[in-house]
Amino acid sequence: MSVLPVYIYDDPVLRKKAKAIRGADENITTLARDMFETMHKAGGVGLAANQVGSLHRIIVVDISVMEETKEVAPIALLNPEVVQEDGLWLIEEGCLSIPGIREEVERAEKIRVRYRDLEFKDQLLEADGLMARVILHEIDHLNGVLFIDHIGAVRRKLFRGRLNKLRRGEVEVDYPIVSNGVPLKREMSEKV
Protein backbone atom coordinates (compact mmCIF):
# COMPACT_ATOMS: atom_id res chain seq x y z
CA MET A 1 0.00 0.00 0.00
CA SER A 2 1.05 3.55 -0.66
CA VAL A 3 0.31 6.89 0.89
CA LEU A 4 -0.94 9.15 -1.89
CA PRO A 5 -0.68 12.95 -1.84
CA VAL A 6 -3.92 14.75 -0.97
CA TYR A 7 -4.98 17.50 -3.35
CA ILE A 8 -5.83 20.67 -1.48
CA TYR A 9 -8.02 23.67 -2.13
CA ASP A 10 -8.19 25.09 -4.91
CA ASP A 11 -6.77 22.35 -7.12
CA PRO A 12 -8.99 21.91 -10.21
CA VAL A 13 -9.37 18.13 -9.71
CA LEU A 14 -11.47 18.84 -6.61
CA ARG A 15 -14.11 20.59 -8.75
CA LYS A 16 -14.38 17.84 -11.36
CA LYS A 17 -17.13 15.25 -11.33
CA ALA A 18 -15.80 11.71 -10.96
CA LYS A 19 -16.70 9.10 -13.58
CA ALA A 20 -18.61 5.90 -12.86
CA ILE A 21 -16.54 2.76 -12.45
CA ARG A 22 -17.54 0.13 -15.03
CA GLY A 23 -16.07 -2.86 -13.23
CA ALA A 24 -13.82 -3.76 -10.34
CA ASP A 25 -10.28 -4.90 -11.07
CA GLU A 26 -6.87 -4.94 -9.38
CA ASN A 27 -6.31 -1.26 -10.18
CA ILE A 28 -9.51 -0.27 -8.35
CA THR A 29 -8.69 -2.54 -5.41
CA THR A 30 -5.20 -1.04 -5.19
CA LEU A 31 -6.64 2.47 -5.37
CA ALA A 32 -9.02 1.65 -2.51
CA ARG A 33 -6.21 0.22 -0.37
CA ASP A 34 -4.00 3.23 -1.07
CA MET A 35 -6.90 5.56 -0.22
CA PHE A 36 -7.42 3.78 3.12
CA GLU A 37 -3.70 4.03 3.86
CA THR A 38 -3.65 7.73 2.92
CA MET A 39 -6.75 8.51 4.97
CA HIS A 40 -5.39 6.70 8.04
CA LYS A 41 -1.95 8.36 7.84
CA ALA A 42 -3.58 11.78 7.45
CA GLY A 43 -5.93 11.22 10.39
CA GLY A 44 -9.14 11.35 8.35
CA VAL A 45 -12.35 9.33 8.52
CA GLY A 46 -13.31 9.56 4.84
CA LEU A 47 -11.65 10.13 1.49
CA ALA A 48 -12.88 10.49 -2.08
CA ALA A 49 -10.81 9.48 -5.11
CA ASN A 50 -10.55 12.99 -6.55
CA GLN A 51 -8.89 14.07 -3.29
CA VAL A 52 -5.96 11.90 -4.36
CA GLY A 53 -6.10 13.00 -8.00
CA SER A 54 -8.23 10.17 -9.43
CA LEU A 55 -11.57 10.71 -11.13
CA HIS A 56 -12.94 7.25 -10.34
CA ARG A 57 -16.24 7.23 -8.38
CA ILE A 58 -14.94 5.63 -5.20
CA ILE A 59 -14.93 6.69 -1.57
CA VAL A 60 -13.52 5.07 1.53
CA VAL A 61 -14.85 5.54 5.04
CA ASP A 62 -13.47 4.42 8.40
CA ILE A 63 -15.10 5.90 11.48
CA SER A 64 -13.79 3.13 13.75
CA VAL A 65 -11.11 5.53 15.02
CA MET A 66 -13.80 7.30 17.06
CA GLU A 67 -14.57 5.74 20.45
CA GLU A 68 -18.35 5.85 19.94
CA THR A 69 -18.14 4.12 16.53
CA LYS A 70 -15.18 1.79 17.03
CA GLU A 71 -17.29 -1.26 16.09
CA VAL A 72 -18.16 0.13 12.62
CA ALA A 73 -16.16 -1.64 9.90
CA PRO A 74 -14.23 0.35 7.29
CA ILE A 75 -15.93 0.40 3.90
CA ALA A 76 -15.14 1.22 0.27
CA LEU A 77 -18.06 2.33 -1.89
CA LEU A 78 -17.87 2.29 -5.67
CA ASN A 79 -20.38 4.44 -7.56
CA PRO A 80 -22.24 5.47 -4.38
CA GLU A 81 -25.68 6.98 -4.88
CA VAL A 82 -27.94 8.30 -2.14
CA VAL A 83 -31.46 6.94 -2.63
CA GLN A 84 -33.08 8.28 0.54
CA GLU A 85 -32.39 11.01 3.10
CA ASP A 86 -34.18 11.64 6.41
CA GLY A 87 -33.83 14.26 9.12
CA LEU A 88 -31.37 17.10 9.38
CA TRP A 89 -28.29 17.40 11.55
CA LEU A 90 -26.04 20.44 12.00
CA ILE A 91 -22.49 19.63 13.07
CA GLU A 92 -18.96 20.88 12.46
CA GLU A 93 -17.04 19.40 9.54
CA GLY A 94 -13.49 19.57 8.32
CA CYS A 95 -11.67 18.16 5.30
CA LEU A 96 -8.21 16.83 4.48
CA SER A 97 -8.34 18.93 1.29
CA ILE A 98 -9.13 22.11 3.24
CA PRO A 99 -6.87 21.75 6.29
CA GLY A 100 -7.30 24.14 9.18
CA ILE A 101 -10.88 25.14 8.39
CA ARG A 102 -13.88 23.73 10.22
CA GLU A 103 -17.47 24.92 10.05
CA GLU A 104 -20.97 23.71 10.84
CA VAL A 105 -22.78 22.09 7.92
CA GLU A 106 -26.34 20.79 7.80
CA ARG A 107 -26.78 17.35 6.26
CA ALA A 108 -29.25 14.48 6.43
CA GLU A 109 -29.08 12.51 9.66
CA LYS A 110 -30.05 9.18 8.05
CA ILE A 111 -29.45 7.93 4.53
CA ARG A 112 -29.78 4.90 2.31
CA VAL A 113 -27.04 4.58 -0.26
CA ARG A 114 -26.73 2.18 -3.17
CA TYR A 115 -23.19 1.27 -4.21
CA ARG A 116 -20.95 -1.50 -5.53
CA ASP A 117 -18.42 -3.22 -3.30
CA LEU A 118 -14.87 -4.09 -4.33
CA GLU A 119 -16.15 -7.28 -5.96
CA PHE A 120 -18.56 -5.05 -7.94
CA LYS A 121 -21.61 -6.54 -6.27
CA ASP A 122 -24.66 -4.33 -5.69
CA GLN A 123 -25.10 -3.27 -2.07
CA LEU A 124 -27.54 -1.11 -0.12
CA LEU A 125 -26.42 0.55 3.10
CA GLU A 126 -28.50 2.33 5.71
CA ALA A 127 -26.41 4.77 7.70
CA ASP A 128 -27.05 7.41 10.30
CA GLY A 129 -25.13 9.89 12.40
CA LEU A 130 -21.42 10.20 11.69
CA MET A 131 -21.39 7.43 9.06
CA ALA A 132 -24.13 9.16 7.05
CA ARG A 133 -22.38 12.52 7.34
CA VAL A 134 -19.02 11.18 6.15
CA ILE A 135 -20.61 9.36 3.21
CA LEU A 136 -22.51 12.50 2.17
CA HIS A 137 -19.37 14.64 2.51
CA GLU A 138 -17.36 12.22 0.34
CA ILE A 139 -20.10 11.86 -2.30
CA ASP A 140 -20.09 15.65 -2.52
CA HIS A 141 -16.38 15.43 -3.38
CA LEU A 142 -17.16 12.99 -6.20
CA ASN A 143 -19.54 15.63 -7.58
CA GLY A 144 -17.00 18.46 -7.33
CA VAL A 145 -18.64 19.97 -4.24
CA LEU A 146 -16.66 21.01 -1.15
CA PHE A 147 -18.08 21.32 2.36
CA ILE A 148 -17.47 25.07 2.30
CA ASP A 149 -19.97 25.30 -0.57
CA HIS A 150 -22.67 24.53 2.02
CA ILE A 151 -21.68 27.57 4.09
CA GLY A 152 -23.39 30.91 3.58
CA ALA A 153 -21.55 33.68 1.72
CA VAL A 154 -21.11 35.80 4.85
CA ARG A 155 -19.46 32.93 6.78
CA ARG A 156 -17.33 32.00 3.75
CA LYS A 157 -15.95 35.56 3.64
CA LEU A 158 -14.53 34.99 7.12
CA PHE A 159 -12.39 32.19 5.67
CA ARG A 160 -11.17 34.14 2.63
CA GLY A 161 -7.69 34.79 4.05
CA ARG A 162 -7.12 31.18 5.07
CA LEU A 163 -8.51 29.90 1.74
CA ASN A 164 -6.14 32.20 -0.12
CA LYS A 165 -3.22 30.77 1.86
CA LEU A 166 -4.34 27.25 0.95
CA ARG A 167 -4.66 28.31 -2.69
CA ARG A 168 -1.00 29.44 -2.56
CA GLY A 169 0.05 26.18 -0.91
CA GLU A 170 0.83 27.82 2.42
CA VAL A 171 -0.19 24.99 4.70
CA GLU A 172 1.37 22.90 7.45
CA VAL A 173 0.09 19.33 7.51
CA ASP A 174 1.48 15.95 8.42
CA TYR A 175 0.70 14.32 5.08
CA PRO A 176 1.87 14.78 1.49
CA ILE A 177 -0.16 17.31 -0.50
CA VAL A 178 -0.55 18.67 -4.01
CA SER A 179 -1.56 22.26 -4.68
CA ASN A 180 -2.54 23.23 -8.23
CA GLY A 181 -0.73 20.19 -9.60
CA VAL A 182 2.49 20.80 -7.64
CA PRO A 183 3.58 18.33 -4.93
CA LEU A 184 4.44 20.32 -1.80
CA LYS A 185 5.52 17.51 0.51
CA ARG A 186 7.15 14.31 -0.59
CA GLU A 187 7.77 12.66 2.77
CA MET A 188 5.33 12.13 5.60
CA SER A 189 6.48 12.44 9.17
CA GLU A 190 5.51 9.67 11.54
CA LYS A 191 2.68 10.54 13.90
CA VAL A 192 3.56 10.14 17.53
**CATH label of the domain that carries residue 42:** 3.90.45.10
Choosing from 138, 170, 172, 190, the catalytic residue is 138
* Arithmetic mean of pLDDT, 7-19: 96
Is the predicted pLDDT of residue 191 greater than 60, yes or no? no
Smallest Cα–Cα separation from 180: which of 168, 162, 163, 170? 168
> pLDDT band at residue 105, thresholds of 50, 70 and 90?
very high
Residue 78 in contact with residue 57, Cβ under 8 Å? yes
User: Positive or negative CA dihedral for 174, 79, 68, 94?
Assistant: positive
pTM of the model: 0.93
Give Cα 165 distance to the centre of its chain. 21
**Maximum separation of any 2 CA atoms in the chain, in Å:** 45
- Report the alpha-carbon distance of residue 147 to residue 187 in Å, rounded: 27
User: Does residue 144 form part of some domain?
Assistant: yes
- Report the alpha-carbon distance of residue 166 to residue 185 in Å, rounded: 14
> pLDDT band at residue 12, thresholds of 50, 70 and 90?
very high
Domain that holds residue 176: 6-180
> pLDDT band at residue 160, thresholds of 50, 70 and 90?
very high
The total number of structural domains in the chain stands at 1
138 is catalytic: yes
Mean pLDDT of the chain: 93
User: Does residue 124 form part of some domain?
Assistant: yes
Residue 105 in contact with residue 93, Cβ under 8 Å? yes
Residue 185: per-residue pLDDT: 59
* Arithmetic mean of pLDDT, 82-90: 97
Tell me the backbone φ, ψ of residue 174, rounded to 5 degrees: -100, 25
* Arithmetic mean of pLDDT, 138-143: 98
Residue 123: per-residue pLDDT: 98
> pLDDT band at residue 184, thresholds of 50, 70 and 90?
confident
H or E element: which one contains 114?
strand 110-116
User: Does residue 191 form part of some domain?
Assistant: no
